[in-house]
Amino acid sequence: MAVDVRDTARAPETPFWLDARYRAIMFQVILLVLVVGFAGYIFYNTYQNLQRRGIASGFDFLGSTAGFDIIMHLVPYAASESFGRALLVGLLNTLAVAAIGIVLATILGFVVGVARLSRNWLISRIASIYIEVIRNIPLLLQIIFWYQVLGKSTPGPRQSIDIGGLFFINNRGLYMPAPVTEPGFWLTPVAFAAGVVATIVMHRWARARQMATGQQFPVLWTALGLIFGLPILVLLVTGMPFHWDYPKLQGFNFSGGMVLIPEFISLTFALVIYTGAFIGENVRAGIMAVNHGQTEASYALGLRPGPTLRLVVIPQAMRVIIPPLTSQYLNLTKNSSLATAIGYPDLVAVFAGTVLNQTGQAVECIAITMGVYLFLSLTTSVFMNWFNRRVALKER
């Protein structure tokens, strides 16, 4: 009987387009069709227009000879290599600036963030002036400024500033000796890797032991010994299988050794100074977000200020710091494309600049460049999100 009642009480059949469940899905399907259709239309129209105007299209050009040189390349490169190789050179140059910039800006940012909260009046004032000045000047101006300062304040190659006959500073860059490896050197990097692995194992063991027994272990000194001491020891035992290549003044310029070109130095410097100011504010906000009661409780338990900061305040502050820190990392990577303004051969300058112009395939070159930046940003985000989950508050 009960069943019958329910059947008769049911509302008359609603058409499926008025049913809330189906309607939600239907709208999403319509949106998807529109988006895909629009993208398809653009793609087709572009292709048709390129065809009609007799402009070459496709990605075959990546294999043809580049025919131009690039001043800084981290992998072997010459004018006889392909456009694809030039893409790789530009990408690595971008990554070099981004990676070094991220590391240095993080260090600077943490120092400045902590300094701004210092009880020392002078230190906290210097930190706030730095942050307020740097954050409020456009980055492009800063890059050009540092480049000009570097160019104007350094002498020509023949009047180089000589530091011990090993380092030379002039308006062509910072020259330094380069290590040249000999057979048998491979053991040293292996020892370094082994040191890193051993440190991770040791750290876990020490933590487990401290949790169990309360005994502390000198992790920092052991880690330094494993990571740096071990490779040096191996180097000595194998009989120093490398020699230094020193820069020498020959003709117009120095040759030999390694060189950091002024474009690289000023771009990295400007990016670090700029991003460091933002990170400093993030760090300050993060530390201030930790309730002062936490510090007092820690003191009450007998922890000294150092361990209090390291074990109580920073871990909690990190939860607040990391999400904005991620976007600063992304900003730094994307801002490195301003390199074009001073002639640093980054991805945009080399690929979306020279290669685009030599081949004329604007659509392909811009698409590849955008794809690469998208990939870099998403990779950074994925890593930082993973890191964020690790330090996130674990609700128990």
Partner 1 sequence: MKKLSVIAAGAALIAFAAGDAQAQATLDAIKKRGQVICGVSQSLPGFANPDAQGNWAGFDVDMCRAISAAIFGDAKRVKFVPTTAKERFTALQSGEVDLLARNTTWTMSRDVQLGFDFAGINFYDGQGFMAKKSLGVKSALELKGATVCTQTGTTTEQNLADFFRSNKMEYKVVAMEKNDEVLAAYDSGRCDVFTTDRSGLAADRTKLKVPNDHVILPEVISKEPLGPLSRHGDNNWNDIIRWSFFAMLNAEELGVDSKNVDEMKKSANPEIKRLLGVEGDFGKMLNLDNAWAYNIIKLVGNYGETYEKNVGPNTPIGLSRGVNALWSKGGLQYAPPIR
Q: Which residues bind partner 1 (CB under 8 A)?
A: 42, 45-46, 48-50, 52-56, 67-71, 78-80, 140, 151-152, 156, 171-172, 250-253, 255, 262-263, 337-338, 340-343, 345, 348-349, 352-354, 356-360, 362-363, 366, 369
Beta carbon of residue 377, minimum distance to partner 1 (angstroms, whole number): 15
Of 68 and 299, nearer to partner 1 (C-beta) is 68
Buried b / exposed e over 112-148, threshold 16 CB at 10 Å, is: bbbbbeeeeeeeeeebbebbeebeeeebeebbbebbe
Tokens of 360: 């004329």
Instruction: Name which of 247, 97, 100, 96 is nearest 170 in CA terms.
Output: 247
Beta carbon of residue 252, minimum distance to partner 1 (angstroms, whole number): 5
Beta carbon of residue 134, minimum distance to partner 1 (angstroms, whole number): 19
Name residue, tokens 């998208």: 374
Of 86 and 313, nearer to partner 1 (C-beta) is 86
Beta carbon of residue 54, minimum distance to partner 1 (angstroms, whole number): 4
Of 80 and 213, nearer to partner 1 (C-beta) is 80
Of 225 and 343, nearer to partner 1 (C-beta) is 343
Neighbours of 214 (CB within 10 A): 7
Contact 59, 364 (CB under 8 A): yes
Instruction: Name which of 369, 371, 366, 349 is nearest 68 in CA terms.
Output: 349
Distance separating alpha carbons of residues 309 and 78, to the nearest angstrom: 51
Of 270 and 287, nearer to partner 1 (C-beta) is 270
Of 46 and 379, nearer to partner 1 (C-beta) is 46
Neighbours of 296 (CB within 10 A): 11
Beta carbon of residue 144, minimum distance to partner 1 (angstroms, whole number): 10
Beta carbon of residue 362, minimum distance to partner 1 (angstroms, whole number): 5
Phi, psi angle pair for 217, to nearest 5°: -130, 140
- Burial (0-12, 13-18, 19+ Cβ within 10 Å), 72: buried
Beta carbon of residue 354, minimum distance to partner 1 (angstroms, whole number): 5
Of 170 and 328, nearer to partner 1 (C-beta) is 170
